[in-house]
């Protein structure tokens, strides 16, 4: 099989029953495309659209668990993506820290900065920024409460098998937000727009992120 240029895929599912799903794609030309089950103004494009010339795409995104450690993500006619995961010593440590931090700690900028600096080397995923400014200018905070390692992933995009997973030579970023260079999956409170009202209980729903 001929090697293809790197493609970065990231999934975010919001709500207890995946009422909103979003997928970010960084293609061969280093251009982002944002796919979501909601309009662009309600999806990740709200924060990051200025980082790409591609318009956001609203479509159905099917997220189905095959087992407690494996899920499949599908966009009809575009993407078939399977992700398998497990725990490791670093991910268990991160999950333990996240579970024990009090709620107020996740709004403390100094704590988020320190956690981000420590998480990158620990998980081997490059730089991690848990607070900063999104590409569209909003301030954000995100709080990783649980983490797993991706053990295996296979994706077929537009009929092309993307091949084995591997670290990016150049870390992808959207404003101050850094995308992991390694194989990582975690549950986090969503990106919070610091110019908006305090997060509601719905906003605090866990969010899976995967590459």
Q: What is the pLDDT of residues 157-206, one digit of tens each?
A: 999 898 888 777 788 888 998 888 766 555 555 444 444 433 333 333 33
Q: Is residue 3 part of a domain?
A: no
**Residue 3: exposure state from Cβ atoms within 10 A (0-12, 13-18, ≥19):** exposed
- Confidence at residue 206, expressed as pLDDT on a 0 to 100 scale: 33
The Cα–Cα gap between 105 and 208 comes to 20
3-state SS class at 62 = strand
Q: Which domain holds residue 60?
A: 8-210
pLDDT mean across residues, the chain: 78
Total domains, the chain? 1
Taking residues 130-158, report their average pLDDT.
89
Q: Is residue 107 part of a domain?
A: yes
Which region among 30-34, 50-54, 60-64, 80-84 has the lowest average model confidence (pLDDT)? 30-34
For residue 50, pLDDT over 90 is answered with yes
Which region among 1-15, 19-33, 152-166, 194-208 has the lowest average model confidence (pLDDT)? 194-208
b/e per residue 175-198 (b: at least 16 CB within 10 A): bebbbbbbbbbbbbbbbbbeeeee
Q: Is residue 69 part of a domain?
A: yes
Q: Is residue 2 part of a domain?
A: no
3-state SS class at 96 = helix
Question: Per-residue pLDDT tens for 66-97?
Answer: 998 998 999 999 999 999 999 999 999 999 99
The Cα–Cα gap between 125 and 139 comes to 22
For residue 2, pLDDT over 80 is answered with no
Q: What is the pTM of this model?
A: 0.77
Taking residues 98-108, report their average pLDDT.
88
Which region among 27-31, 32-36, 84-88, 206-210 has the lowest average model confidence (pLDDT)? 206-210
Is-contact 147 91, C-beta < 8 A?
yes
Q: Give every CB contact of residue 125 below 8 A, 6+ residues apart in sequence.
A: 119, 180, 181, 182, 184
- Confidence at residue 6, expressed as pLDDT on a 0 to 100 scale: 57
Q: Is residue 57 part of a domain?
A: yes
Q: Is residue 1 part of a domain?
A: no
Q: Report, in this order, helix, strand and coil percent for the chain, each rounded to 5.
A: 20, 35, 45
């Amino acid at each position: 099989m001929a090697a293809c240029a790197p493609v970065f895929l990231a999934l975010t599912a919001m709500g207890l029953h995946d009422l909103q799903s979003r997928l970010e794609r960084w293609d061969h030309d280093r251009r982002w495309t944002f796919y979501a089950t909601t309009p662009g103004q309600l999806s990740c494009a709200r924060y990051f659209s200025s980082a790409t010339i591609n318009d956001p795409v609203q479509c159905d995104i099917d997220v189905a668990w095959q087992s407690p450690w494996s899920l499949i993500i599908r966009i009809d006619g575009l993407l078939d993506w399977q992700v398998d995961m497990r725990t490791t010593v670093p991910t268990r440590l991160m999950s333990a820290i996240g579970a024990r931090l009090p709620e107020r700690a996740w709004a403390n900028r100094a704590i988020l900065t320190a956690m981000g600096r420590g998480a990158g080397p620990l998980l081997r995923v490059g730089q991690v920024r848990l607070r900063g400014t999104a590409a569209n200018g909003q301030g954000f905070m995100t709080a990783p409460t649980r983490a797993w390692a991706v053990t295996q992933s296979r994706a077929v995009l537009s009929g092309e098998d993307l091949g084995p997973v591997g670290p990016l030579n150049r870390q992808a970023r959207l404003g101050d937000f850094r995308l992991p260079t390694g194989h990582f999956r975690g549950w986090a409170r969503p990106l919070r727009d610091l110019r908006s009202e305090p997060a509601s209980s719905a906003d605090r729903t866990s969010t899976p992120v995967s590459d």
